[in-house]
Amino acid sequence: MPNASSLPEPLLKVRGLTAGYDAGPVLFGIDLEVAPAELIALVGANGAGKSTLLGVLSGLVRATSGTVSLGGRDVTNARPEVHVRNGVAHVPQGRRLFGTMSVERNLILGAYLRHDREVRDDLTRVLGYFPALKDKLSRDAGTLSGGEQQMVAIGRGMMARPKLLMVDELSLGLAPNVVERLIDVVQQINRDGTALLLVEQDVLVALDAADRAYVLENGRVALSGPAAEVRDDPGVRKAYLGL
């Protein structure tokens, strides 16, 4: 490597990213990095730009300037399917399952772009993370409880064999003990080698689980660092934890 730095090349590297919608820009010059197998929490108020950032990283929202690189390759404004092939899976807010299709088909659809012979093995692996889904494979996804639907959504993301899994609002509408279990699984997925970008309104839950955290405010990174430091930051405690 020509770089003198001893740090490994980050898996994901975002530099000066600006993006938005017809109504106006939402993100203003975001810098962010995710190392391989790192667990990153992305926190901030509603409207701060968290979901928009995930949208840019999965190709659903166009960057107007700045760069996104994955594994050293520039992937700025690549199409969504290219991002998925490159190893980025997006578990959207509200889960967005195909409600009238079976749990199994929803999961298999996560491997839509794959043509290898290991899709079935990966289904077994995903069910290892979510054993509760094993006897519900033939049920319509829409008939599952909210927690089970979130399992399917995360499982569907894993079926793409991502290097980076992005989960938007894991805890939305879920019972506390279900959130606890899902966080355990997400941490296990992370320990097994998948990097994670976790957007979460329950800021304390996210910061407890993460290695590092980024705080977005009005489309800018207001603070970043080790999750424990961010959790103890007086501004964060006041503005997000309500302590």
Nearest CA to 218 out of 195, 192, 241, 239 is that of 239
Task: Confirm or reject binding of residue 145 to other proteins (CB under 8 A).
Answer: yes
- Bridge partners of 214, per DSSP, are 42, 224
Task: Confirm or reject binding of residue 223 to other proteins (CB under 8 A).
Answer: no
CB of 223 to other proteins, least distance (A): 15
CB of 183 to other proteins, least distance (A): 9
Q: What is the CA radius of gyration of the chain?
A: 18
Nearest CA to 142 out of 182, 179, 175, 95 is that of 95
Question: Do the beta carbons of residue 42 and residue 197 sit within 8 Å?
Answer: yes
Residues 168-187 contacting other proteins, CB under 8 A: 169, 172-181
Strand, helix or coil at 212? strand
Closest to other proteins by CB, 1 vs 23, is 23
CB of 159 to other proteins, least distance (A): 23
Q: What single DSSP character describes residue 9? A: P
Stretch that binds other proteins, among 6-14, 30-38, 43-51, 84-92 (CB under 8 A): 43-51
Q: For other proteins, what does the binding mask look like between residues 82 and 101, x meaning CB under 8 A?
A: -----------x--------
Look up residue 228 and give its two tokens. 């424990």
Which whole-number Å values give the CA distances from 210 to 34, 153, 235, in the listed order? 12, 20, 19
Closest to other proteins by CB, 128 vs 176, is 176
Residues lying near other proteins in the complex (CB under 8 A):
23, 43, 45-47, 93, 145-148, 169, 172-181, 201-204, 238-243
